[in-house]
A = this chain, B = another copy of it.
Amino acid sequence: MYRTHNCGELRIDNIGENIILAGWVQRTRDMGGMTFLDLRDRYGVTQVSFNQEVNANLCMAARKLGREYVVQVEGKVIERESKNQNIDTGAIEIQASKLTVLNASETPPFTIEDETDGGEELRMKYRYLDLRRKPLRNNLELRHRLGFETRRYLDQHRFLEIETPYLIKSTPEGARDFVVPSRMHNGEFYALPQSPQTFKQLLMVSGYDRYFQIVRCFRDEDLRADRQPEFTQIDCEMAFVDQDDVLNTFEGLVRHLFKEVKGIELPEYKIMTYEEAMRLYGSDKPDLRFGMPFVELNEETQNKGFGVFDAADLVVGICAKGAADYTRKQLDKLTDFVRKPQIGAKGLVYCKVNEDGTFKSSVDKFFDQEALASWADKMDAQPGDLILILAGVKEATRKQMNELRLEMGNQLGLRNPNDFAPLWVVDFPLLEWDEESKRFHAMHHPFTSPKKEHLGLLDTDPEKVNANAYDMVINGVELGGGSIRIHDQKIQSKMFDLLGFTKDEAEKQFGFLMGAFKYGAPPHGGIAFGFDRLAAIFGGTDSIRDYIAFPKNNAGRDLMIDSPSTIAPDQLNELGIDVIDSNE
Chain A residues packing against B (C-beta within 8 Å)? 1-3, 6, 22-24, 40-42, 68-70, 102-106, 108, 126-129, 131-132, 137, 140-141, 143-144, 147-148, 151, 155, 160-170, 172, 176-192, 198-199, 202-203, 205-209, 216, 218, 220, 222, 229-230, 232, 240-242, 244-245, 487-488, 511-512, 515-523, 548-550, 552, 555-558, 560-568, 571, 573-580, 582
Among B188, B232, B516, B566, contact of A566 (Cβ-Cβ < 8 Å): B188
Q: Are B184 and A556 in contact (CB under 8 A)?
A: yes
Q: What CA separation (Å) do A517 and B108 show in the bound complex?
A: 12
Question: Are A190 and B563 in contact, with the CB atoms below 8 A?
Answer: yes
Give the interface SS of chain A, mostly helix, strand, loop or mixed. Answer: loop
Contact residues in B for A571 (Cβ distance below 8 Å): 170, 172, 176-177, 179
Task: Write the chain B residue with the least CB distance to A241.
Answer: B2
Apart from A163-B232, A167-B229, A576-B582: 7 A-B pairs, beta carbons within 8 A = A23-B207, A102-B522, A167-B552, A169-B558, A178-B190, A203-B549, A578-B580
Given A70-B520, A521-B103, A565-B188, also A131-B232 (CB < 8 A)? no
User: Is the beta-carbon distance between A183 and B220 smaller than 8 angstroms?
Assistant: yes
Contact partner, A563, options B102, B169, B183, Cβ 8 Å: B169
Smallest beta-carbon distance A437→chain B, Å: 14
A488 proximity list for chain B (CB < 8 A): 103
Report, nearest first, the 10 A-B pairs whose CB atoms are least far apart: A105-B520, A131-B206, A188-B564, A169-B563, A2-B240, A182-B564, A68-B520, A578-B578, A144-B160, A128-B202
Q: Which residues of B contact A1 (CB under 8 A)?
A: 241-242, 244-245
Residues of chain B within 8 A of A229, CB atoms compared: 167
Contact across chains for A206 and B128 when beta carbons are under 8 A apart: yes
Interfacial chain B residues near A515, Cβ < 8 Å: 126
The contact sample of 13 A-B pairs, CB cut-off 8 A, is A1-B244, A2-B523, A68-B520, A103-B517, A105-B520, A140-B208, A167-B178, A169-B561, A179-B180, A181-B577, A188-B566, A190-B563, A191-B567
Q: B129 contacts A206, CB within 8 Å?
A: yes
**Contact between A565 and B148, CB atoms less than 8 A apart:** no
Per the bound structure, the CA–CA distance linking A245 and B207 in Å amounts to: 43
* Residue ID in chain B nearest A209 by CB atoms: B42
Name the residue on B nearest A566 (C-beta).
Answer: B188
A245 vs B2: C-alpha distance when bound (angstroms) = 10
Assembly CA distance A549 to B165 (angstroms)? 8
Q: Contact check, A576 vs B567: say whether CB atoms are below 8 A apart.
A: no
Complex interface: chain B residues within 8 A of A183 (CB): 176, 220
Q: Give the one of A167, A172, A580 with max B CB within 10 A.
A: A167
Please, how many angstroms separate the alpha-carbon atoms of A121 and B488 in the complex? Answer: 27
Q: Given A144-B162, A189-B565, does the pair A575, B105 have CB atoms closer than 8 Å?
A: no
A179 to B580, CA, bound (A): 16
Whether B580 and A579, one on each chain, are in contact in the complex, defined by CB atoms closer than 8 angstroms, is no
Closest-by-CB residue of B relative to A129 is B519
Q: Are A103 and B522 in contact (CB under 8 A)?
A: yes
Contact (Cβ within 8 A) B144 A148:
no
Q: A565 to B566: give the CA distance in the assembly, Å.
A: 24
Residue of A106, A220, A557, A582 contacting most chain B CB atoms (<10 Å): A220
- Min CB distance, A488 to chain B, in Å? 7
- Which residue of B is nearest A570, CB measured? B172
Is the pair A163, B207 in contact by a Cβ cutoff of 8 Å? no
Q: Which residues of B contact A105 (CB under 8 A)?
A: 518-520
Residue pair B558, A519 in contact (C-beta under 8 Å): no
| Known contacts A106-B519, A172-B568, A240-B2; is-contact A164 B549 (Cβ 8 Å) | yes
Q: How far is the CB of A539 from chain B (nearest CB, A)?
A: 15
Residues of the B chain whose Cβ atoms lie less than 8 Å from the Cβ of A160: 140-141, 144
Cβ of A200 to closest chain B Cβ, rounded Å: 10
B residues less than 8 Å from A487 (CB atoms): 103
Are A565 and B520 in touch, CB under 8 angstroms? no
In whole Å, how far is A386's beta carbon from the nearest beta carbon of chain B? 45
Interface centre among A68, A127, A141, A179, by most chain B C-beta atoms within 10 angstroms, is A179
Question: With A208-B137, A245-B1, A576-B579 given, is the CB distance from A564 to B169 under 8 Å?
Answer: yes
CB of A148 within 8 A of CB of B155, answer: yes
A24 to B, closest residue via Cβ: B520
Complex Cα–Cα for A451 and B303 (A): 89
Q: Are A168 and B558 in contact (CB under 8 A)?
A: yes
Q: Are the C-beta atoms of B192 and A180 separated by less than 8 Å?
A: yes
CB distance from A60 to the nearest CB of B (A): 21
- Cα distance, A76 to B487, chains bound together (Å): 28
Q: Which of B126, B131, B151, B556 contacts A182 (CB 8 A)?
A: B556
* Complex Cα–Cα for A144 and B161 (A): 5
Chain B residues with CB under 8 A of A245: 1
CA gap between A571 and B190 in the complex, in Å: 13
Inter-chain contacts of A128 with B (CB < 8 A): 202-203, 205-206, 512, 516, 519
Identify which of A40, A127, A568 gathers the most chain B CB atoms within 10 Å of its CB. Answer: A127
Min CB–CB distance A130 → chain B (angstroms): 8
Return A183 CB to nearest CB of chain B, in Å. Answer: 6
Q: With CB as the reference atom, state the residue of chain B lying closest to A192.
A: B180
Q: Given the complex, which residues of B lie within 8 Å of A41, measured CB to CB?
A: 207, 209
A206 to B136, CA, bound (A): 10
Complex alpha-carbon distance, A108 and B487, angstroms: 17
